[in-house]
Amino acid sequence: MKHIVKILSILVAVAAMWIGLLHISIVPKSQTWLLPLYLIISLACYGLLMVGVGLMRFPTCPQEAVLLQQDVVEAKDFLRQKGVDIGSD
C-alpha cells in the first residue's frame, strides 16, 4: 500500500507541475505538451540505468550455484526414471 501512495503522490506532483507550466507559460506550449513524453522517456532511462547498475553489482553466490547444480542432477535423474530422454550429459 505504501508504494501505491508514493507513486500516486509523485504522479499528482508531476501533473500539478505540468499544469502549472501550462498556465504560467514559462515553457512554450509546443514543448509543454511534450513534457509527459519526456517524463516517460527519462523514467525509462532511469529504470534501464538502475537495472544496469544492479547487474554490474550482482553478487555471485557460489553456494547457490552448487545447490542449483544439485537440483539439475536430481531433475535429470527423476526424468530418467520416468523414461524421458534428456540427451547426453
The reported pTM is 0.45
Element (H, E) at 65: helix 62-81
DSSP assignment of 39-50: HHHHHHHHHHHH
CA dist., res. 69 & res. 18, Å (int): 53
The pLDDT tens digits for 14-28 are 888 878 877 777 767
The pLDDT tens digits for 37-66 are 887 888 889 889 988 888 887 777 788 888
**Alpha carbon 51 to its chain's center:** 6
